[in-house]
Amino acid sequence: MSTSELACTYAALILADDGLDVTADGINSILKAAGIEVEPYWPSLFAKFFASNKVMDLISNVGAAAVADCTPYLLP
C-alpha cells in the first residue's frame, strides 16, 4: 500500500469516527492539516468508494469471511 493510500485510509477513518461523511473535501482537509500531499485522484477515489460503503460496516466485517471459509475444515 502506498503512502497516499494509507494517508487517505487514515483520513477516512478519522472522518467516520467523528460521524462525518467521507468526502473528497473532508479527506483533503485532514491531509492538508497533517501536511501530507497525495496525488489529486486519491481523495476522490476514496470518497466515491465510501459513498456506497460505510467505514464502520467494513471494520465490523473484517473477520467474518475468514471464519466462514475455515468452517468446513474444522468439522470432523
pLDDT classification of 69: cutoffs 50, 70, 90: low
pLDDT digits (tens, 9 = 90+) for 13-26: 999 989 899 999 99
Q: At 36, is the secondary structure helix, strand, or coil?
A: coil
Query: 3-state secondary structure string, 20-35?
Result: CCCCHHHHHHHHHHHC
Q: Give the pLDDT score at 54.
A: 77
DSSP 53: S
Domains and CATH numbers, the chain: 3-74 (1.10.10.1410)
Percent residues over pLDDT 70 in the chain: 72
pLDDT classification of 63: cutoffs 50, 70, 90: low
Q: Is there a contact between 47 and 22 (Cβ–Cβ < 8 Å)?
A: yes
Q: Is there a contact between 11 and 5 (Cβ–Cβ < 8 Å)?
A: no
